[in-house]
Structure formats: structure tokens, C-alpha cells
């Protein structure tokens, strides 16, 4: 997969050289390039922002550098990438969206700063490529950079060959619309707290059932919204009894 990121702070993306994402890049599974938006400015001050029309606090990113950046990274003659614009006003980023993005061949992330990017950039880009404004959650960050780190990590770990044990994708939280059960390792007793007996029983049927129920209980306690959104056919009789 190819990923391009445009930002006025390319240094934010240094961690993408590390660990499993760094290895995916070294392997060629992830072809990631970070670009400085100011590359596409032409004045001595390399200006990217200006005051908002209609008034209000803060500054807005001017359209011209963004237009030039998107022309360069999504040229008309190439298959268009999917453009993702981090914004607290976007649609929620979820594990389902991570799977959707992992199936794309080219993602282009446009990181806004200040109050955001002039909306005409997104309107114009949408005539050439699919555009999604995407939010991590109901809080406000300084800019899109940290959100892109999050999304690139969530997507990269779904690419074929990145995770050693692909089975872990099937068991983790959100894999089935539920949170995962608690997990334990050795020693069996620690500071007076014991590992649940069932996990040491060797009865794999009972263990699977226990994990399912603990996942349901956690989801009900912490994320009732997830439980409410679960299609009825994702719960069986034993779930309902539990
Ligand atoms: Cl994706 N961007 C910004 N700037 N703030 C956010 C966000 C994204 N998601 C939550 N808050």
C-alpha cells in the first residue's frame, strides 16, 4: 500500500520509522512518504494560513498550497488515491474503517492545522477522488498529525504479512463488535490476586465461553453503545442467558 502524508510538521512522523510500522516500510509492504506542505508555497514567508472569512478566532489554511500539493500527489493521469482529512468535524474513525482503508492501494492524508483547511480544497478534490473527513473521537487536537499516526498504525497492522500471528486480529477488541475479555499470564497468583481458574482448566470450550461472557460484560459496562449497535444475529441464546 502507498501512503502519502502532507503536513507543515513532517517531524511529527518520525515514529513511523520504528517497530512494526518501520519494518513494514523496510519490507515494502507500506510505501509511506511524508511531504512538507510548504514545498508548495511560493512567497518568501512560505505562507500557508490566513484569517477566516466571516470573522472568528484563529487562522485557516489557504487553498493554493493544498491545491498544488494534491495536484502533485494525485495527478490526473494516475489512479486517484483516497483522500483522508483528519478533523474533529469528520465521520468517526472505527476498526471497520481501518479494514476499509487497508483494502485501498493508495491513501493520501492532508493534515490541517489552525482552525482547518479552506473547504474549497475538499470540494475541488472531491471532483477528482474520494474524500473523507475523519475524526478520532469527540475531543479537539491541535492538528491532524497525531490522528494520522493513529490511523496509519490501525491500517498498517491489517496489511497482509505485517502481524506475525494473523489470528490475533480475529480475537482482539472490536473484531466482533465487542470488547475483548481480560487477559493473564504467569504467575498464577500475584500479590493475592489469582488468575481465573477456568483459564487454567485446559477446557477450551469452557475458556471460549468464559471469554465471550467477560467480553459481553465489559462491553455492557463500558460501551453500551457497541452492544446496542450489535445486530441481533451476533448474539446467541447463551449470550442472552449470560
Ligand atoms: Cl482527526 N483532528 C483534529 N484536529 N482533532 C481531532 C481529530 C482529528 N479527532 C478528534 N479530534
The answer to whether the CB of 10 is under 6 A from ligand 1 is no
Q: What is the DSSP string of 18-59?
A: SHHHHHHHHHTS-EEEEEEGGGG--STT---EEPPTT--SS-
Tell me, what's the ipTM?
0.94
Q: What does the radius of gyration of the chain's CA atoms come to, in whole angstroms?
A: 22
> Sorting pLDDT into bands at 50, 70 and 90, what band is 173?
confident
Q: Whose CA is nearest to atom 8 of ligand 1?
A: 87
**pLDDT on residue 238:** 86
- Ligand 1: centre distance to CA 167 (Å): 31
Percent of the chain topping pLDDT 90: 87
**pLDDT on residue 99:** 97
> Smallest Cα–Cα separation from 8: which of 46, 56, 43?
46
Q: How far apart are CA 32 and CA 2, in angstroms?
A: 6
Q: Known binder of ligand: residue 167?
A: no
Q: Known binder of ligand: residue 164?
A: no
The answer to whether the CB of 87 is under 6 A from ligand 1 is yes
State which of 132, 141, 152, 154 you would mutate to test the pocket of ligand 1, scoring each by most atoms of that ligand within 8 A of its C-beta: 141
174 CB contacts (<8 Å, ≥6 apart)? 94, 95
The answer to whether the CB of 116 is under 6 A from ligand 1 is no
Using DSSP, state whether 84 is helix, strand or coil.
strand
Q: How far apart are CA 150 and CA 93, in angstroms?
A: 10
176 CB contacts (<8 Å, ≥6 apart)? 234
Q: How far apart are CA 64 and CA 41, in angstroms?
A: 8
pLDDT in tens, 14-39: 999 999 999 999 999 999 999 999 99
**pLDDT on residue 237:** 84
Amino acid at each position: 500500500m502507498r501512503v502519502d502524508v502532507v503536513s507543515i510538521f513532517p517531524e511529527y512522523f518520525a515514529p513511523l520509522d520504528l517497530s512494526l510500522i518501520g519494518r513494514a516500510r523496510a519490507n515494502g509492504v507500506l510505501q509511506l512518504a511524508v511531504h512538507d506542505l510548504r514545498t508548495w508555497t511560493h512567497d518568501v514567508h512560505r505562507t500557508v494560513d490566513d484569517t477566516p472569512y466571516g470573522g472568528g478566532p484563529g487562522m485557516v489554511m489557504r487553498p493554493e498550497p493544498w491545491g498544488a500539493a494534491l495536484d502533485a500527489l494525485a495527478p490526473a493521469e494516475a489512479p486517484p488515491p483516497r483522500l483522508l482529512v483528519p478533523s474533529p468535524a469528520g465521520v468517526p474513525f472505527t476498526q471497520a474503517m481501518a479494514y476499509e482503508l487497508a483494502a485501498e492501494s493508495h491513501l493520501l492524508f492532508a493534515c490541517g492545522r489552525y482552525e482547518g483547511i479552506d473547504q474549497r480544497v475538499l470540494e475541488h478534490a472531491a471532483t477528482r477522488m474520494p474524500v473523507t473527513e475523519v475524526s478520532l473521537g469527540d475531543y479537539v487536537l491541535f492538528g491532524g498529525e497525531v490522528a494520522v499516526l493513529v490511523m496509519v498504525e490501525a491500517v498498517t497492522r491489517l496489511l497482509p504479512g505485517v502481524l506475525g500471528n494473523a489470528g490475533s486480529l480475529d480475537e482482539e477488541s472490536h473484531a466482533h463488535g465487542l470488547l475483548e475479555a481480560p487477559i493473564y499470564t504467569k504467575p498464577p497468583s500475584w500479590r493475592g490476586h489469582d488468575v481465573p481458574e477456568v483459564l487454567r482448566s485446559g477446557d477450551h470450550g469452557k475458556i471460549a465461553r468464559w471469554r465471550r461472557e467477560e467480553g459481553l460484560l465489559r462491553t455492557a459496562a463500558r460501551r453500551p453503545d457497541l452492544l446496542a449497535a450489535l445486530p441481533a444475529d451476533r448474539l446467541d441464546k447463551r449470550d442472552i442467558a449470560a
